[in-house]
Amino acid sequence: MIIVVICVFLHSCKTTNPEVSSERLESARFGENQNINTPVPVSGEGMPILAWYGVQKHTVKRYRELKEAGINYNLTFCQNADELAKALRAARRARVKILASCPEISWGEKGAAEMIVKRFMNHPALAGYHIIDEPSRDQFPHWGELVKRIQVVDNEHFCYVNLIPSIHSDPDQTIYGTANYREYVQKFIDEVPVSFLSFDVYPIRHNGKERILLEGFYENLEIISDEARKAGMPFWAFALTTPHEYFPIPTIADLRLQVYSSLAYGAQGIQYFTYWTGPPNGGLVFIDGPIDINGKKTATWYTVQQMNTEIKGLSGVFFGAKVLKVEHISINTSGKNENIPIGTARFNFANRPAEAQIITKVEPANGTNAVVSFLKKGKRCYMVIVNRNLEGGENAVFTVTGGAGLQLIKKDGSAVPASSENGNQTITPGDALIYGWDIR
């Protein structure tokens, strides 16, 4: 069983390198392969924030430490059901939810998963069941069948599958088992009846001289967000917190760029890879995760805590919001348009959503790279602008004006009249500028 757990961790070390027909969409929502009563994850504390490869020492103290970092969901690859029981007991006292994982759930003989589910389904710390990480297309029937078996026993807790990213080292895309990445996501939605999508992509690399943002990051967000929206599903996204290979120790700008970009595209959960630093495996050496390999806090723990404080403060904006439109700005220092990220659309203020007519001007300064997103949540709308520049890059300066009722949203979620603030707002690399207003 120990070997199985190590293999699971290795598999989770991500090597991130057409319109859907109405028939397919209907099948995805209500077809025989879907359970329309599958639970959607809801956290009593707002946005779900998950630690992947989480707490490795199942004590109340360790789970309270996790909670203090601002994380409310934990995924530890337990060696067996008894270890899982221990994790649930400790997590309950710390008010943390557990995404259950042990070999019996995913790799046991037929009937083993149901036994585990029956044992733990009524535990108050249980959030859901981890099924598999990064399956290829040919595996969908098997995992879809397992999800359906689990949901027959327990339809109160969600099943979790994390998808392969579109940024991958395989140029022929044979790893997906489909003609392209979009089809891979579509087939998954059709065949595996989970209640939300999850994918991981880690776009910030260090080439030995400077940080670089990997091409294709926003295209991956475009596809996941679009397909989730068409299927009426939420999605969760990742941010990298444990350096290895060419992935650097994350700064707050690094985390903000990943998190706010995902939230601007409608993400309803944020996950960190990893919380606890894993052992060296397969030639990969992991260092300086939030908790190091010896169980000590690192500087990254405090960076994650800061990021989570911001997420929680802004949960009222992002949690439960729907995307109206996401577009991109790329303007050089001479004021000329440059290439926007592959797979994205260029920002056109004149074609902003009808709900955003209260905004009368959005004017970026020269040298700006940004994401502009419009979100709607009930009778409330938001405009989110994310500075796409990396750590060490230029600030973005925007002039934004609007009618009465336009508000500037602070990091703690509070709102002040936009007219009371400077019309020129500066956004540091990776950070977000948010405006809100009510609609009738």
Residue 30: the pLDDT is 29
Residue 325: the pLDDT is 98
CA distance linking residue 250 with residue 290, whole number of Å: 10
For helices 112-120 and 81-94, the axis angle rounded to 10 degrees is 30
Which 3 state secondary structure label does DSSP give 402? strand
Angle at 202 between CA 198 and CA 204, to 5 degrees: 155
pLDDT (tens place) for every residue of the chain, 440 residues total: 333 333 444 344 443 333 333 333 333 332 333 343 456 665 566 899 999 999 999 999 999 999 999 999 999 999 999 999 999 999 999 999 999 999 999 999 999 999 999 999 999 999 999 999 999 999 999 999 999 999 999 999 999 999 999 976 555 567 888 999 999 999 999 999 999 999 999 999 999 999 999 999 999 999 999 999 999 999 999 999 999 999 999 999 999 999 999 999 999 999 999 999 999 988 899 999 999 999 999 999 999 999 999 999 999 999 999 999 999 999 999 999 999 999 999 999 999 999 999 999 999 999 999 999 999 999 999 999 999 999 999 999 999 999 999 999 999 999 999 999 998 999 999 999 999 999 98
Residue 46: the pLDDT is 82
- Residues 232, 182 contacting (CB under 8 angstroms): no
Residue 347 CB partners (closer than 8 Å, separation 6+): 327, 328, 329, 362, 370, 372
Nearest to 262 by CA among 283, 242, 241, 234: 234
Radius of gyration of the chain from its Cα atoms, rounded to whole angstroms? 21
Residue 15: the pLDDT is 39
Task: Count the Cβ atoms, other than its own, within 10 Å of residue 360.
Answer: 11
Strands (E), 139-268: 158-162, 197-198, 204-206, 211-213, 235-240
For domain 2-318, is the CATH number 1.20.810.10?
A: no
Residue 111: the pLDDT is 96
CA distance linking residue 426 with residue 368, whole number of Å: 11
Residue 103 CB partners (closer than 8 Å, separation 6+): 1, 4, 5, 79, 80
CA distance linking residue 366 with residue 175, whole number of Å: 41
76 is written with which tokens?
A: 């530890």
